[in-house]
Amino acid sequence: MVRSPTWPAEGPRRSPLTEAQFTEALSREGVEFVQELQFLSSQGADGWIERRLYSMYRKSTDLETFLDDHGAQANQTFYRIRELVAGARWLSLACSCLVHLRSRICAYPLSDEDWANEQLPVHLKEAISCFGDSLLKCLETLSEEWVKAGLGLPAEAPRMAASPAGPSFVLPANRLPEADERAEAGQKDSLPAARLVGRVIRTIEDWAPIHATTTDTDDERQAFMKELCSEATARDLESRVHNLQSEYDSTIRGSAEEKEQPALLKLRGAISQCLHLLEAVTALTHLYERHQVHQRHPATRRVLGHILNWENFLAKMIDHCLRPALASLEKSKDLAAGLLECLTTQAFKDLRIPHGITLHARPLSLIVGVTNHYGLPVEMEIGEGRASAASMMSMLMLCGSHLDAQSVRFHGDPAVLNDLQALFDARLGEDGMDALPGSLKYLVH
């Protein structure tokens, strides 16, 4: 006997709506969005605060989802509203990041006071002026399209008291005293701080090609966006700095190292400046790619094309958001180098290459794995040559020119050198990864 399936052969079909029915539904769904739109329009960019801009981002996100769920992007009456809502979504997110940073500059300990107090505000002013004006034009056009589609507007925009531009006071640190677990155990571990500082330095070095690329013409800017600042790249840059900030707050905030090394707080300030600017870059890059690069329908492209001058859009984003983000971190490099010197102990260890093993790609990749695990600078030395132990290519070149070497010297923090010793004792993994000691199991993953 053939048993009938317990589920339908086809999924549930959506019933078609008339445009009149959708107009009524959209009018109800968009009440809070339109109220936020009216409030921001009435304030002007100079009066905006971060939480209201972020509120617009959240409400426009919900409304864009509602429009997409009902197929508005393919409907002649509503596709313009859909594109304008999407434009408002990403412009409001970018502006919220920029306005937030503007209000927080005075609260961050600064790694480079001249840069943060003189140059960064100029960049923020230019960026907020450009993208704030674009958002206002988008909201104005959206209001016109909203009415044209037969959707109602509230008679008056809601009011909300503005919060202070930035924190003007700090509450006393009067929590009950509790023993720090590390202090209680008699430990003083500066490795988390040193690891973070090392990762900051590596991030700065990795981004040097982006910083050095010229973007003086529109053709150069478009090529730059395609090759070095696609949305995927922008999200990667933001994620990398976000991880640095999270690592600081999780492992260093309130620690003994932070008290002993006040420069750590200045480094945290540089990371935060960089992060907020990169958050704006990600939002703006998404808007550019989604509506200018990947959008194929000419009518849809024209919706935001009437509002945004894409050539000026890219110039302002690169010059006043992306480059200042990179500069915020780059200007802390000397500070980070000084911190690393204070937080690490420089030592060296001579390690004999196990019999029958050559330093080819596989064992060198494990050396890179140990170095990256700690995030601290380590150098391999053979003869008169040196190479970064975090760079496979550099070590391959060094080893290739010293094929008869029987030992190598590593320079770095003892914590890393001890793991490298264990790796060499385990014959550099050439007997199988299962033969690695427990202290190196992080290499297996």
pLDDT tens per residue, range 399-443: 999 988 999 999 998 989 999 999 999 999 988 888 899 889 888
Residue 434: how many other CB atoms lie within 10 Å: 8
Q: Which of 81, 100, 98 is nearest to 138 (CA)?
A: 81
Count each helix (H run) and each strand (E run) in the chain, helices first: 20, 4
For 19-36, how does the pLDDT look when each residue is reduced to its tens digit (9 = 90+)?
A: 899 999 999 999 999 999
Per the DSSP assignment, residues forming a β-bridge with 352 are 407
User: What is the percent of the chain with per-residue pLDDT over 90, rounded to a whole number?
Assistant: 64
Task: Report in angstroms the alpha-carbon separations of 192 from 80, 198, 445.
Answer: 51, 10, 21
- Tokens representing 6 are 């317990």
pLDDT at 13 over 70: no
**Stretch 335-339: mean pLDDT, rounded?**
93
Q: Residue 379 contacts by C-beta under 8 Å, 6 or more apart in sequence?
A: 386, 387, 388, 389, 410, 411, 412
Q: Residue 281 contacts by C-beta under 8 Å, 6 or more apart in sequence?
A: 229, 234, 237, 238, 317, 321, 322, 325
Task: Report in angstroms the alpha-carbon separations of 239 from 278, 312, 359, 445.
Answer: 9, 26, 34, 21
- Please report where in the chains the tokens 């700690």 appear, as a residue: 374
For 94-138, how does the pLDDT look when each residue is reduced to its tens digit (9 = 90+)?
A: 999 999 999 988 888 888 889 999 999 999 999 999 999 999 999
- Tokens representing 70 are 């009902």
**Stretch 74-94: mean pLDDT, rounded?**
95
| pLDDT recorded at residue 202 | 87
- Tokens representing 156 are 């008056």
For 145-199, how does the pLDDT look when each residue is reduced to its tens digit (9 = 90+)?
A: 999 999 877 665 555 544 445 555 556 666 656 555 544 443 345 688 998 998 9
Q: Please, how many CA atoms are within 13 Å of residue 7, restricted to the half-sphere of its CB?
A: 3
3-state secondary structure of 253: coil
DSSP collapsed to 3 states, 85-112: HHHHHHHHHHHHHHHHHHHHHHHCCCCC
Spatial distance between the Cα atoms of 291 and 327, rounded to a whole number of angstroms: 28
Q: Which of 131, 23, 135 is nearest to 89 (CA)?
A: 135
| pLDDT recorded at residue 187 | 39
Mean pLDDT for all residues in the chain:
88
7: left (phi over 0), alpha (psi -120 to 50) or beta: beta
H/E run at residue 333 = helix 333-343
178: left (phi over 0), alpha (psi -120 to 50) or beta: beta
**Stretch 275-297: mean pLDDT, rounded?**
92
| pLDDT recorded at residue 6 | 55
User: What is the percent of the chain with per-residue pLDDT over 70, rounded to a whole number?
Assistant: 88
For 33-79, how does the pLDDT look when each residue is reduced to its tens digit (9 = 90+)?
A: 999 999 999 888 888 999 999 999 999 999 999 999 999 988 999 99
CATH fold label, 346-443? Histidine-containing Protein; Chain: A; (3.30.1340)
**Stretch 327-345: mean pLDDT, rounded?**
91
| pLDDT recorded at residue 2 | 47
- Please report where in the chains the tokens 């409304």 appear, as a residue: 63
- Please report where in the chains the tokens 């008290």 appear, as a residue: 259
